[in-house]
Structure 1
Amino acid sequence: MTDVTRRTLRLLNLLQSRTVWTGPELADELGVTTRSVRRDVDRLRDMGYPVLASNGHGGGYQLGAGRALPPLLLEGDEATAIAVALRLAAGSGIDGLGEQAVRALAKLDGILPPSVRAEVSAITDALHVVDAHTGAGGILSSTLVTLARAVRDGVQVRVDYERADGHRATRRLEPYRVLSIQGRWYLFAWDLDREDWRTFRLDRMHEVRASTFRFTARPAPDIESYVRESISVGAYPIGARVRILRPASEVAPRIPAFAGTITADGEDACILRSGARDLTWIAMQLAWLGLPIEVIEPPELAAEISRIGTWAGEVRQG
């Protein structure tokens, strides 16, 4: 922090400590000339802080509306980190915390200098919380911020990515959206090497580097639907499709994002698409729902459900 920055922060603290200060009083407190005080006041005004000045007896410098707020002289990266943390809190799923985080974001926006406010707004616009849930997977804040900035700026990124099987490789991506789904963060991007859309988990990223190479936005599918499908169906070797004889509005709240996707099939039914490593898991999930179903595919799922039903019917109380 430079001497000028320290002095500016000290000046802001002084202005908040009492209603009015004269120029000579501030100069004495800061150990500078009144001319330097005037320059520092102008610097605060350029940063967006409402410093008022009045002449005559009883006049001097004072903060305008908002003087009761704490002083915040934040660098762009610091303000961005705070905004991202508040956005995470807003999607945490903890009762009351989301509303408090939103209020804090509004207050932060009200006292930040215009240039930093624009930076924060652009970054948080690149983040999208789809569905809140507690117990988020651990990621580096720098990863989240770097990707959100890349989305905002429309630049390519290089990611050291580890797949579920442990294989690590560098991926060259055009990032389009960063999403939080039930506490886990994902990146929706165009994979330049595979020439296709892909979904990446941020907690599997070891290093993220943003480039200066801009890209032209491609026509993209519905991003939220694509990511939900990729994490609930596309991520598994076995897929299934089932018609549930209940309205989609009734069933959808009972299906976690990682368990499947729901689409309406008329007014009184819906289609569940789900994936797993074995059909038994899907059959057990359907049994947990306890709703009337029709198996569309694969036919082996119906056989697995019958097998479980037969086993359940043979269970006896000891």
Structure 2
Amino acid sequence: MTEMGTTERVLRLLALLQQRPVWTGPELAERLGVTTRSIRRDVERLRALGYPVNAAQGVGGGYQLGAGKALPPLLLDDEEAIATAVSLRLAAGGTVAGASEAAVRTLAKLDQVLPARLRAEVRALHDAIATLEGARIEVDADALLTLARACRDQVRVECGYADRDGTETERRIEPYRLVATGRRWYLLAFDLDRDDWRTFRLDRVHSLRVTTWRFRPREHPDPVDFVQRAITTAPYPHRARVLLRAPAATVRAWMPATVGTVEPVDDGSCVLSVGGTDEHELALRVGMLGVDFEVLEPASLRSQMATIAERFARAARDPDVR
């Protein structure tokens, strides 16, 4: 086989190793139309280029592309290259400090090596995508990675934390899961001093210290559900539960997960749990959904809605009709 043929075969081998965790030698040989001896030589060529290809003997063994000390080049097919470019474009407007700059640098590298047939398509996608700049809350990328590793390794963390009023406290926590809401990052953790589960906003965490104390995992609440309830109802002095005459999927499409929680009742109704600074705000928020509803609690919200209804009824009268 010619050298060009060998190069193409090695690249195809690398692409196969990136597609699934483990391949046996005979499987690779069949896919590439060569002998298992050729596969062994090609694996050595990949290793010489810096790709950590692991080999295991016996049942369940085979070749596996592992992690090395340095990141070797990746092979992307057309769809993967386009998907990567779009993802990087969206990451440029993300909430992790420094990620936007890294995304731009990576996009520049990707664009430089893209085939002409894909470059035009990717650039067309870039032109078609716009990012609405909102009140993004950036978090430190190093802190995010540190907490992710602590969750993975199940080790205790000590940190400083500022609450919504700016009060500083020292916390000793067992970190479990990181939850992203689109605008902010949150951590679900067990607070050792308060002996209870807590939600921490990552942009308020500082002086992060990872200890060597490992912890035994506890039975924990669903991270997404816990964080959602913590940021949609718990922080507010007034809370309400309302039965909406609309499917849960429809209401979720109207209301972001950071505003309220929606629980389906049946195909045509759901229960909305929402918080607010006062009952007047809650009444208007529910009324603006544009569907029939029933206030489950609190009863005082019904009185507030009656007052608002009377005000709207007076405003709806024709001033020329007495």
TM band (smaller chain): 0.5 to 0.7
Q: Which residue of 1 aligns with 2:91?
A: 89
Deviations 1:136-158 (A, max 9, x none): 31222222111111111111111
Contact 1:92 1:134 (8 Å CA) reproduced:
no
Distance across 2 between alignment mates of 1:46 and 1:212: 36
Q: TM-score, normalised by structure 2?
A: 0.59
Taking the TM superposition and a 5 Å limit, the aligned residue runs for 1:164-183 are: 164-183=164-183
The code of the aligned residue for 2:91 comes to: A
Distance across 2 between alignment mates of 1:146 and 1:252: 33
**1:198 maps to 2:198:** yes
Taking the TM superposition and a 5 Å limit, the aligned residue runs for 1:159-308 are: 159-308=159-308
Find runs of 4+ consecutive structure 1 residues off by over 4 angstroms.
85-88, 90-93
Q: Which residue of 1 aligns with 2:17?
A: none
Distance across 1 between alignment mates of 2:216 and 2:187: 18
Distance across 2 between alignment mates of 1:86 and 1:155: 32
Distance across 2 between alignment mates of 1:88 and 1:159: 31
Contact 1:91 1:183 (8 Å CA) reproduced:
no
How far apart are residue 49 of structure 1 and its match? Answer: 6.8
Contact 1:233 1:273 (8 Å CA) reproduced:
yes
Taking the TM superposition and a 5 Å limit, the aligned residue runs for 1:60-71 are: none
Distance across 2 between alignment mates of 1:233 and 1:134: 22
The code of the aligned residue for 2:153 comes to: D
How far apart are residue 46 of structure 1 and its match? Answer: 8.5
How far apart are residue 315 of structure 1 and its match? Answer: 2.7
Taking the TM superposition and a 5 Å limit, the aligned residue runs for 1:35-50 are: 45=48, 47-48=50-51
Contact 1:160 1:206 (8 Å CA) reproduced:
yes
Contact 1:146 1:209 (8 Å CA) reproduced:
no
DSSP-derived class of the 2:286 partner: helix
Contact 1:238 1:277 (8 Å CA) reproduced:
yes
How far apart are residue 89 of structure 1 and its match? Answer: 2.0
The code of the aligned residue for 1:216 comes to: R
Contact 2:179 2:223 (8 Å CA) reproduced:
no
Unaligned runs of 5+ in 1: 1-40, 51-71, 75-84, 94-100, 109-132
Taking the TM superposition and a 5 Å limit, the aligned residue runs for 1:112-191 are: 135-191=135-191
How far apart are residue 269 of structure 1 and its match? Answer: 0.8
The code of the aligned residue for 2:136 comes to: A
Please give the root-mean-square deviation of Cα atoms over the aligned residues, in Å. 3.5
Distance across 2 between alignment mates of 1:151 and 1:47: 30
Q: TM-score, normalised by structure 1?
A: 0.59
Distance across 2 between alignment mates of 1:285 and 1:187: 28
Distance across 2 between alignment mates of 1:91 and 1:248: 30
DSSP-derived class of the 1:173 partner: strand
